[in-house]
Amino acid sequence: MSSYIIKGGNKLEGTVKISGAKNSALPVIAATILNAGKTTLYNVPNIKDTQMMYEILKILGAKIEKKNNKVIIDTSKIDRFEIPDELMHKMRSSVILAGAMIGKYHKATFTYPGGCDIGSRPIDLHLKAFEKLGIKITQNYGEIYCTCEKIIGEKIDLDFPSVGATENTILASVLQEGTTTITNAAQEPEIEDLANFLNKMGAKIKGAGTNKIEIEGVKKLKEISYNIMPDRIETGTFLCLAGATGGNIELQNVNPIHVTPVIAKLEEAGCYIEKEKNKIKIQAPKKLKAIDIKTMPYPGFPTDMQSVFGAMLTTAKGTSMIVENIFENRYKYTQDLNKMGAKITIEGKTAVIRGVRKLYGATVKASDLRGGAALVVAGIMAKGITVVENIDYILRGYENFEKKLREIGANIETSKAL
Ligand code: UD1
């Protein structure tokens, strides 16, 4: 795998155009299966995760035409209903294809996605919701077969507001008979984007973005074009990069409302932030103040931002505390930050970050997407050279990361693995 070589110490200044949201694009791409026709999507990020989703769709029989951030997906010839084991393991979120396949064809075969570097990530809530919808699930050596004659609307109360389980339930319910009501639904903006997309196609979904979602089944959908919403995690990452370097950055193509808790925390740390309709400007002080963070389901502080904040706070004045409530194993990056001179201790769900004067360059290794981004932030803050290995993880979720960083003054380049 390739590495980033970063010469740290530069203050980041300038303008960044934020890409389309990975976590919205993935379920929307899966949802194109439901209308068995052509869908045109705009503002789709060109990242490893969307490429992997296209690979799976092609194996199932779809045709994909791609030009920059525009993608035309033709799902009219889908004739396979198994997600290959190998790809399922490579990309956990491919489980979202199951809801779309079952919703359209009443059958899907896939394997357990398995654990990953941020936790065990079970899919019990997805399967429980499928069963409630009348889908028969049989399991054999880790392979899961789902079939049903038809799907009839039901009341589904999720034990936890899981993003993936909410999306899979919506996808399975769009073409059903009757109405499904999801309570304790996840309220993330990406779910609203998926529902807006499906409603434009002709679905009848109400309440997405709240904790109660109602899906009235429709008979068929139509061909549409749709613009994917901006990525709120990429937005937050660049805001933190300004925060971490005493920088001054303008972000374009963003939705400031989606990053409300992130902005609140950056302001608490001493940053000055101006919001416009599709823009955010941030001016950071020379030294940040320590803050406390607790990750929560939306509209709380996002777990996906925790690591990047963790890196940014290593040199803040005072002691910061992070409590990670969503995933059980999301602090791996802190070991690498400590190698760079940070003072972080972990006790269960809590990370205590004692602010130090400086970080120092070191060779570190990304072990997941957002943890990898945190190491890049640290490398840009640090004195000297940092090598971030295993950047494939980072490329799964950040479009043109290196280019965007260089444009605002970071000294970063990619070195290919020998
Ligand atoms: C999505 C996002 C991910 C983000 C996460 C939480 C995508 C592609 N990924 O992941 O970036 O970090 O939301 O905001 O959109 N859980 C169960 N059983 C289940 C499902 C989930 O116990 O069946 C648990 C998980 O282990 C985790 C918590 O619920 O502890 C939240 O997971 P979930 O909201 O489902 O996250 P994802 O959809 O996997």
418 residues of the chain, pLDDT tens digit each = 799 999 999 999 999 999 999 999 999 999 999 999 999 999 999 999 999 999 999 999 999 999 999 999 999 999 999 998 888 888 888 999 999 999 999 999 999 876 567 667 789 999 999 999 999 999 998 899 999 999 999 999 999 999 999 999 999 999 999 999 999 999 999 999 999 999 999 999 999 999 999 999 999 999 999 999 999 999 999 999 999 999 999 999 999 999 999 999 999 999 999 999 999 999 999 999 999 999 999 999 999 999 999 999 999 999 999 999 999 889 999 999 999 999 999 999 999 999 999 999 999 999 999 999 999 999 999 999 999 999 999 999 999 999 999 999 999 999 976 5
Mutate to test the pocket of ligand 1, among 121, 127, 158 (most ligand atoms within 8 A of CB): 121
Up-side HSE of residue 105: CA atoms within 13 Å toward CB?
22
Question: Which atom of ligand 1 is nearest the CA belonging to 167?
Answer: 38
Catalytic residue positions?
A: 116
User: Is residue 327 lining ligand 1, measured as CB closer than 6 Å?
Assistant: yes
- Other CB atoms within 10 A of residue 185 CB: 27
**What pLDDT is recorded for position 304?**
97
Are the C-beta atoms of residues 44 and 21 closer than 8 Å to each other? Answer: no
Q: What is the DSSP letter of 313?
A: G
195: exposed, middle or buried (C-beta count within 10 Å: 0-12, 13-18, 19+)?
Answer: buried
Please give the Cα distance from 192 to 198 (Å, whole number). 10
Q: Which two tokens stand for residue 117?
A: 């570097």
Q: Quickly count: other Cβ atoms within 10 Å of residue 250's Cβ.
A: 20
For residues 130-168, one letter each, b for 16 or more C-beta atoms within 10 angstroms of the residue's C-beta and e for the rest, the string is: beebbbeeeeeeeebebebeebebbebebeebbbbbbbb
Q: Whose CA is nearest to atom 33 of ligand 1?
A: 162
Distance 83 CA to ligand 1 centre (A): 20
Residue 393: alpha-carbon gap to chain centroid: 12
Per residue in 290-335, pLDDT (tens digit) is 999 999 999 999 999 999 999 999 999 999 999 999 998 899 999 9
Q: Are strands 155-157 and 179-183 parallel, antiparallel or unpaired?
A: parallel
Backbone φ, ψ for residue 417 (5° rounding): -70, 145
CA of residue 386 to ligand 1 center, whole Å:
31
Distance 384 CA to ligand 1 centre (A): 36
Strands 272-275 and 292-294: unpaired
Q: Which of 56, 88, 163, 233 to mutate to test the pocket of ligand 1 (most atoms within 8 A of CB)?
A: 163
State how far the Cα of 242 lies from the Cα of 281, in Å rounded to an integer: 10
CA-wise closest residue to 84 among 109, 107, 115: 109
- Going from the Cα of 164 to the center of ligand 1, the distance in angstroms, rounded, reads 6
Ligand 1 site, residue 122, Cβ cutoff 6 A = yes
**Does ligand 1 come within 6 angstroms of the Cβ of 93?**
yes
